[in-house]
Structure 1
Amino acid sequence: MEAVIGLLVVILGVSHGVETYCDGRQDGAQCYGALGGTVVLQLMDNASEIFRYTWSIKPTIKTTTRTTIFWWIDNTIVSNEISNRSFFTPSNGTFRINDLIWTDGGEYELQTFDSDGKTSALRTLQLTIQAPVSSVLLVPECLSQGEMKGCSFERGDSPQYSWTLDGRTLTDAELLSGNTETNNITLKQKVSGRLVCSVRNQVSKVSVEAIISICAVETYCDGRQDGAQCYGALGGTVVLQLMDNASEIIKYTWSIKTTKTTIFHWNNYTIVSNEISNRSFFTPGNGTFRINDLIWTDGGEYELQTFDSDGKGSAPRALQLTIQAPVSSVLLVPECLSQGEMKVFCSFERGDSPQYSWTLDGRTLTDAELLSGNTETNNITLKQEVSGRLVCSVRNQVSKVSKEMTISTCAFINCTLTNGTHISQWMFPDNNISCIQPTTSPPMRTSTDYIICGVRAAVVVLALIGIAVYFAWKERKYKMVRQKMERQENSVVMVEVRS
């Protein structure tokens, strides 16, 4: 793969003698100085207003004694242990230390006294010495799914990274992996512009800039055998080995077989014509023909015909060139099924003739781990208890992209959410469901449970039958009473008629 890269290094504040400033008038101030540079410490407002003070470095594990660095009494410097590389300015209370060394770092204590010799104030200051960042380098590398930029430096302490593109912070839509605070990022395809990596610490900042263009996939094919099958990436480059050395051949033509259109014509050690000269290059010394910015119509069957000095042609050689869109932006999506198995889908944004392969923890998945599917399909179903580092690789003849994810076993969620919704199902742990009463396994049924359920069902059925019989008996009894009453009424009527 290729990318046109232009590098411009911009170095800020890395030369010998980096100067930093720190306000040490507040107790517990954190100050930084550059190794070999200068630090200006603001210890007070005006030394002439203070009768006496001492500035000492507190003892450490290695140094058990307190060392007085600077001593001031009655507007006079009594002593200065580093007078050969420091300077004190009484009017503004600054203490300047040059040619900083590692042992200058430490916790310092400023103690002031009044005219009676009593301590009036006590303040501490932490001075940290850092090596400034220098010699930053931006190393580009084209991958099948974008461009990787590595930002490295020769020396420096506690580096912090930041990335910008065309003067603004990179967005997630432009990043395939990494973030703007790491030293390596991977850019998605079609991202181009002025890329800047900045490395800084408390005492320095260095930036390196690269003008990046879109990466192009490059493939190679040996076309010296008749019937060679060659592949090129859409928008990329293909290098075709047509012969060993063109200088040994007087004349040859390279044409599209179906239309007999001559693409390249060589005669008497000279290029006579090249129909795609604006995006191709021929190297006579090794007989390679390079085509850039491949388009769909570049695909087809080509024919190479050579001739000797007498004009006699040799047997033509055929070459099939196929153009494919490279695979990019692979995505893995896990889904838990009803029995705790996990189905994983492997999809991609674009690409022709994809071929899939799956690995778990660096090895091919076994049949014992697969419930359905195989390692050559875009989705697989894993059995329960299968976990580890799952990788799906999608490739075609011009590219290969892999996506990795760490999977764990599905968890059975049986709980009530904080919003009152009840959930009872297998779920992937990354769903981050928060429950009031979670469980990690589904309810297990025993033989006793099934017997109890059967008895309960029988009781319900018998109860329903009893209710039906009761109402049928009531209805029959009601009919018999009614018929008896009707007969009695009829008898009374007959008696009245006889009277």
Structure 2
Amino acid sequence: MEAVIGLFVMILGVSHSVETNCDGRQNGAQCYGALGGTVVLQLMNKASEIHRYQWFKKTTVILDGRRNIILSNLIENRSFFTPSDGTFRINKLSRTDDGEYTLRTFDSDGTPSEDRFLQLTIQAPVSSVLLVPDCLCQGEMKVSCSSEGAESPQYSWTLDDHTLTDSELLSGNTETNNITLKQHVSGKLVCSVRNDVSRVLKEVQISTCDVETYCDGRQNGAQCYGALGGTVVLQLMNKASEILKYHWFHNTTLILAVRRNIVLSNLIENRSSFTPSDGTFRINKLSRTDDGQYRRVTFDSEGTHLEDRALQLTIQAPVSSVLLVSECLSQGEMKVSCSSEGAESPQYSWTLDDHTLTDSELLSGNTQRNNITLKQHVKGKLVCSVRNNISRVLKEVQISTCDLSQLICGVRAAVVILALIGITVFFAWKKKKNKTAQDSVVRRQIEDQENSVVMVGMRRSSSDL
């Protein structure tokens, strides 16, 4: 199982140069500084607006000033106060800088006018991040994100610049440092580690993991399975050194010829490897042509045929994705369908809140079919598992009971709509019929007038003239 990986690190700050800013003008402000870094504290608007001020840590006066004049600065070797904008800058922060600070202001006669507090917390910044992907046996990928030195780290993940979705995430969440991605998930995966003073991103380009299967082919007639595009590990013997000479055939084609620990030939060496020490043959990038019967033929020192041992290798497409669709029925039951994409010979199983569905919950179907109907008032975490001989995918949905009132309202609404349509059609038809009848009466009246005695006489008189 392999994933093609490229690494890129973007560090937004290292310990000796991380600079944070904090507005300390609000009483009770919470400020953060990076260990070894710099913090810029906004203590006031302008020093010229305040007659006199002192800044304490506990009972120790750190800064003493009168308007724009700095009378004393206890840590002037690594700090700087700017009277024009009221900011106090402290460099080379250490653990001893952590604590509560008080800004005390005085009026013109020296009376204290206000005390304002802030809490400064010193944290070690995120110095580096390690991102480790690991392919699991079913083609999933477990990814661990660890940070060195950071205090109170917070994690977040993105894939191709979007937050991971349920269709991509098998376990964990985007705020933990360990996640497991589903099969066939690939792209630019980024882990962000941050605390109150720094943030570091670590990126890895992941490709899909091969589905790897294992089969013990030491027993004659063994049935083995491999995933299309994946890897199969076949145990052909205990140790190659125990057998003088052996050939391995695919149907009638010689694939592998070995004499003790020496591989004489390997027809598919570009995508396979044989390990004499444990007798395993590994085939990568499996295709349909790898399907078929394989035979291991052993020989003694004189070249005499000793034994034939056969195995059948079947190549199947793994389960790639699962779709779960629920539908409320008229009586409040719920029909749920589970469909899998691409899988060959899929087998289905269902659980509700981690237990197999019971007769008291199931109205029709069974837990080995892809369609089930749940009884009324059944709710909880419903999971459909789709598996075949080489892979397994779970799909989870949180179901609640069907709302009969909504169904009844829906049916009623449908009946009302149909009734309105029927009434509209009826009146349109009746109006058309009445119009047709009126037109017919008018035509008959005209014809009657034309055939009347007076009209006939007039037409004769006209013809005589």
1:204 aligns to 2:198 (yes or no): yes
Asked if 1:386 corresponds to 2:378, the answer is: yes
Q: Give how far 1:219 is off.
A: 0.7
Question: Which residue of structure 2 aligns with residue 141 of structure 1?
Answer: 134
Q: CA deviation at 1:208?
A: 2.4
Could you report, residue by residue, the CA deviation over 1:108-159 in whole angstroms, capped at 9, with x for unpaired residues? 445364x555789886656444442344332323353643423233554554
Structure 2: which amino acid aligns with 1:247? S
Q: Secondary structure at the match of 1:381?
A: strand
The structural deviation recorded for 1:68 is: 5.2
1:251 — aligned with what?
Answer: 245
- 1:144-178 alpha-carbon deviations (Å, 9 max, x no partner): 36434232335545544444556x44575983457
Given the superposition, is the C-alpha separation of residues 138 and 224 from structure 1 closer, same or farther in structure 2, using an over 3 Å criterion? same
1:458 alignment partner in structure 2: none
How far off its partner does 1:372 sit? Answer: 1.5
- Give the Cα separation in 2 of the matches to 1:268 and 1:52: 92
* Structure 2 counterparts to residues 52-131 of structure 1, below 5 A: 52-56=52-56, 69-73=62-66, 77-78=70-71, 83=75, 87-90=79-82, 93-97=86-90, 98-101=92-95, 104-106=98-100, 108-109=102-103, 111=105, 113=107, 115=108, 117=110, 127-131=120-124
Cα distance, 1:255–1:142 mapped onto 2, change above 3 Å = same
Distance change (3 Å), C-alpha of 1:414 and 1:330: closer
| Separation in 1, partners of 2:209, 2:233 | 16
What does 1:17-56 align with in structure 2 at a 5 Å threshold? Answer: 18-24=18-24, 31-35=31-35, 37-44=37-44, 47=47, 51-56=51-56
Counterparts of 1:29 and 1:269, CA distance in 2: 72
TM-score normalised by the chain length of structure 2: 0.75
User: Aligned residue for 1:15?
Assistant: 15
Counterpart amino acid of residue 71 in structure 1: D
Residues 74/162 of structure 1: CA separation in 2 closer, same or farther (3 Å cut): closer
Paired AA for residue 234 in structure 2: L
The answer to whether the Cα contact below 8 Å between 1:34 and 1:129 also exists between their aligned partners in 2 is yes
2:156, 2:174 within 8 Å by CA — same for their partners in 1?
yes
1:333 is the counterpart of 2:325: yes
Bigger radius of gyration among the two? 1
Structure 2 residue identity aligned to 1:423? G
Match of 2:360 in 1: 368
1:281 counterpart = 2:273: yes
Asked if 1:311 is matched to 2:303, the reply is: yes
Give the whole-Å Cα distance in 2 for the aligned partners of 1:140 and 1:201. Answer: 23
Q: How does 1:425-464 map to 2 (within 5 A)?
A: none
Superposed, which structure 2 residues align to 1:397-416 within 5 Å? 397-414=389-406
Amino acid at match of 1:101: R
Q: How far 1:393 sits from its partner (Å)?
A: 1.1
Secondary structure at the aligned position of 1:214 is classed as coil
> For residues 19-42 of structure 1, what are the alpha-carbon distances to aligned partners after superposition, in whole Å with 9 as ceiling and x for unaligned?
323355678866421245431224
Give the counterpart letter for 1:234 in structure 2. Answer: L
Deviation of 1:215 (Å): 0.4
**Whole-angstrom CA distance in 2 between matches of 1:56 and 1:238:** 70
Partner AA of 1:19 in structure 2: E
Q: 1:131 to 1:328 in 2, by over 3 A?
A: same
Counterpart Cα distance in 1 of 2:239 and 2:192 = 48
Q: Check whether the contact 2:139–2:211 (CA below 8 A) recurs between aligned residues.
A: no
Q: Distance in 1 between matches of 2:407 and 2:231?
A: 57
Residue 346 (str. 1) matches residue 333 (str. 2): no
List alignment gaps of at least 5 residues for structure 2: 413-465
Change (3 A) 1:228 1:42: same
Match of 2:211 in 1: 217
Task: Work out whether residues 240 and 260 of structure 2, in 8 Å CA contact, stay in contact via their aligned partners in 1.
Answer: no
Q: What is aligned with 1:294?
A: 286
Question: What is the rounded CA distance, in whole Å, between the counterparts of 1:174 and 1:379 in structure 2?
Answer: 21
Alignment identity in percent? Answer: 63
CA contact (8 A) 2:32 2:120 kept: yes
Identify which range, 170-179 or 361-370, moves more after superposition.
Answer: 170-179
Contact 2:47 2:67 in 1 (8 A): no
What SS does the corresponding residue of 1:423 show, helix, strand or coil? helix
Give the distance between the partners of 1:31 and 1:231, measured in 2 at CA. Answer: 60
Distance, in Å, in 2 between the alignment partners of 1:251 and 1:50 is 97
